Amino acid sequence: MRHTKCCNFHERMIHISYLTLRMEAIVKLWHRLNELIENEPHPVNRARIRTLSHGLFILLGVCASLVVIYSIQFQPLLVSRAILYLFVFGVMLYLLLFKRAWRLVGHVFLWCLLSVVISNMIIYRNGVSLLTIQYCLLIVSGAFYVLGVRWGIIYALLSILPVVGYLLLWRTGTRFFFVTTSEVSSAGFFLVLVTNFVMLVLIHYHVFKSFYHIQEQQKTNQARLLAAILTAGDAARSRNDFLSSISHELRTPLNAVIGMTNVLLLSSPRKDQEENLSILQFSAESLLALINDLLDFNKIDAGKVELETRAFQPAHLMEDIYESFAIKASEKHLAYELEMDPALKDVQIMGDQTRLMQMLVNLISNALKFTTEGRVNVKASVVREEGNRIVLRFAVSDTGPGIPVNKQQVIFEPFMQASPTVLRQHGGTGLGLPIVKRLAELHDSKIELNSTPGKGSVFSFEISYERAVALAPSTVSAAIQELPTHNLRVLVAEDNEVNAVVMKKILEKLGITHTIVGNGLEALTAIEQQQYSIVFMDIHMPVMDGLEAIRRIRELPDPVKASIHIIVLSASDEGSIRDSDVYPLINDILPKPFSLQHLQDKLNHYIGGQGGRRDHT
C-alpha cells in the first residue's frame, strides 16, 4: 500500500514537472512573439504577424484536440490529417517566430486551408458544407488582409474554383449547405465550426485595430504638425520682432557715425583730413550694407530685395573700395592691386551702387582673409556695349589655398565653409558668398569660380547696366551746390539726441531753416502753430509715436497743414512700415542711417514739384 502511494506521488510530480515545462515553453514562445511584433515598424505588418501567430496557436490546439476526438471516434483518415496539420502548423510557427518569414508562413497557411476545402469535398465526401464556406471566407479574408490585394484576388479565385468544379462535376447526390443532426452533435464538427468563426473575427479584429491605430497616429501626427507649424510661426514672429529691434538698435548709432562724418566733410577739412573722413565714410557705409544684409538675409533668400536705380561712376566706386582695404592688405604684406579698364574712367551708369559695393566688398574681404602670402588682384573691365547698355566684368583673384572641386558649390550655401579648418582659423558667418550669389542673381548674373587647390581662386561676374544721361554728383561740395536755394522750412521729430544733433548740423550746413522736436505730440503741436514745408518723422518716440502723429496730422482741419509732405525716418525694417495702415498717408521714407546724397535726393524730389507722389528709392 505504501509502495502504491509512493508511485502515485512520483507520477503526480512528473506530471506537474511536465506541465511546468510546457508552460515555460509557451511563455518563451509568447515573449518571442512580442519581440517580433515590437521590432516590426509598420502597424499593418504587426497586425498581420499577430493574426498569423494567434491563428497558428489556435489551430495547433484545435488539431491536438481533433486527434483525440477522431481517435475516440475511430476515424483514422481524419486523425492522420489532423496529425499532418499539427506538424505543418508547428513548423510554420517556428518559421514565423525564429526566422521572421511571415509572408512565407502566410502562403503556407492559406494553402493548408485550401487543402482542407478540397479534401473535405473530394476525399471525405462532405460536399459544399457550412464548414467549406467558412474555410473559403477564411482564405479570402486572410489573403487580402495578410498578403495584400494582389494575392487576395489570386487566393479568392483558388478557393472558389474547387467549389465551382465540385458543383459542376458532382451535382447528383451531393449535399449542398446541408448539415446533419449527427454532425451538429459531433464534438469535432462543433469545435471546427466555432474555431472558424473565432478565426474570422480574429482576422478582422487585428486588421481593423491596426487601421484604427494608423488613423490615431495620423491624427496625432497632424496635431504635432499643426503644433510645430504654430511654434514655427511664433518663432518666425519672434525672430522678425528681434530683427526689427536689433535693426533699430544697430542702425541708430551707425546713423550718428555716418551723419557726423558728413558734417565733418561739410566743414571744409584739410586734404589729409578729407581723405581720412572719406575712408571712414566709405567704411561706415560698407558696415551699414553688411548689417542690412545680415538682418534681412531671409528677405534676400526669398528674393524680396529690390535693386535701386541711381546714377554712379563705377571707376570712383572701385577706387573707394580698393582704398578701404589697402591698410588690411599692407598689414598682411600682400601685393594688393587694382586693374581698371581705361574705358571706365568717365563712364556713368544707372544701377544699385550699394549692392555692387557689397558684392565686391564680400569678395575682396574673403580674398584678404584667406590669403596668407602672395597677392590679391581686383579688376574691373568693359566686356561689350549694346546700344545704351554696357556690360561690365568684375573679378577678384588671390593666391590663397584654393577650393576643392567638391566644395565649390557648398561654399555658396548659407552658413557653410569650405572646411572645418577654415572656420577654426578664420571664423566668419558663412553668409558672404551666399549673399554675393543672390545679389548677382538679382542682377540677372551669376558668380563664376575658377579655383585650383594650392594656387588660388578667381571669383568673377558680369552685370549689364544702362548708361546714365548725366554725371551723378560724386562729391559733397557738388551735392551742396546742386541743391536749389528754396525757402524751405523743415520740422524734424527725433527723440534720439545724437541723431537730432546730426540732423541739425546737416540742415544748418545746407542752409535750411529747421525745428527739432522730441516726440510726435510736439510735432503735431508745432505744425498746428507754424507752417512747414517738410516733416521728417521718426517712428519710435515716447509720448506719441510717429505713426499716431501722422494720423493726427492728416486729420487736421487746415487742408494745407493736413497735406504737408511727410518723410518717415526709420531705422527699422521698411516692410513693417509698408504693412501698416499709415503707409498710404506718408509721402516718402528715408531709412536710417542715410547719406548726405540720399537726403539731398529727397529734398530735390520735393523741390522739383513731385511732393505729392510717393517715392521709396
Q: What is the CA radius of gyration of the chain?
A: 44
pLDDT in tens, 134-192: 888 888 888 887 888 888 788 888 888 877 777 776 655 555 555 555 555 677 777 87
CB 126 within 8 A of CB 78: no
Cα(542)–Cα(97) distance, integer angstroms: 76
Please, which residues have CB within 8 angstroms of residue 34's CB and are 6 or more apart in sequence? Answer: none
Give the per-residue pLDDT at 376.
93
Cα(315)–Cα(312) distance, integer angstroms: 9
Cα(260)–Cα(266) distance, integer angstroms: 10
Long-range contacts formed by 197-204: CB under 8 A, 24+ apart: 197/134, 198/58, 199/55, 199/58, 199/138, 200/134, 200/137, 200/138, 200/141, 202/51, 202/54, 202/55, 202/58, 203/51, 203/55, 203/138, 203/141, 203/142, 203/145, 203/146, 204/141, 204/145
Cα(337)–Cα(307) distance, integer angstroms: 29
Cell 552658413 belongs to 415
pLDDT averaged over 10-residue windows placed end to end, the chain, 617 residues: 52 54 62 67 74 80 83 83 85 79 83 82 67 82 81 82 74 52 66 82 81 83 87 72 67 74 77 80 72 64 70 89 86 90 88 87 88 91 89 92 79 58 45 82 90 89 85 43 63 86 82 89 92 90 90 91 89 68 85 76 72 46
CB 522 within 8 A of CB 551: no
Instruction: Classify residue 146 by its DSSP letter.
Output: I
What H or E segment, with its residue span, contains residue 325?
Answer: none
Cα(257)–Cα(534) distance, integer angstroms: 24
Q: What angle do CA 201, 203, 208 make, to 5 degrees?
A: 95
Instruction: Classify residue 615 by its DSSP letter.
Output: B
Helix and strand totals (H; E) in the chain: 22, 12
Cell 522678425 belongs to 240
Number of neighbours of residue 597 by Cβ within 10 angstroms? 19
Q: What angle do CA 507, 508, 510 make, to 5 degrees?
A: 65
Cα(451)–Cα(447) distance, integer angstroms: 13
Give the per-residue pLDDT at 397.
93
- What residue type is assigned to position 548 of the chain? E
What secondary structure, in 3-state letters, does 227-296 show? HHHHHHHHHHHHHHHHHHHHHHHHHHHHHHHHHHHHHHHCCCCCHHHHHHHHHHHHHHHHHHHHHHHHHC
Helix (H, G, I), strand (E, B) or coil at 393: strand
Give the per-residue pLDDT at 214.
79
Question: Phi and psi for 573 in degrees, rounded to 5?
Answer: -65, 130
Label residue 588 exposed, middle or buried (CB < 10 Å: 0-12, 13-18, 19+): buried
Give the per-residue pLDDT at 144.
82
Give the per-residue pLDDT at 535.
93
Please, which residues have CB within 8 angstroms of residue 602's CB and are 6 or more apart in sequence? Answer: 567, 588, 590
Task: Give, in order, the Cα–Cα distances in Å from 605 to each of 343, 374, 456, 487.
Answer: 32, 49, 47, 15
CB 572 within 8 A of CB 247: yes
Give the per-residue pLDDT at 57.
81
Give the per-residue pLDDT at 424.
40
- What residue type is assigned to position 17 of the chain? S
Domains contained in the chain, CATH given: 9-176+185-221 (no CATH), 308-467 (3.30.565.10), 489-608 (3.40.50.2300)
Instruction: Classify residue 473 by its DSSP letter.
Output: P
Cα(62)–Cα(67) distance, integer angstroms: 9
The four Cα atoms 145, 147, 152, 156 give a dihedral, to 10 degrees, of: -100
Question: Residue 379's beta-bridge partner residues?
Answer: 339, 395
Task: Give, in order, the Cα–Cα distances in Å from 527 to each of 207, 358, 418, 455, 560.
Answer: 78, 40, 58, 66, 11
Give the per-residue pLDDT at 210.
78
Written as nine digits, the cell of 198 is 473565432
Cα(246)–Cα(295) distance, integer angstroms: 8
The four Cα atoms 283, 284, 290, 293 give a dihedral, to 10 degrees, of: -140
Cα(6)–Cα(346) distance, integer angstroms: 124
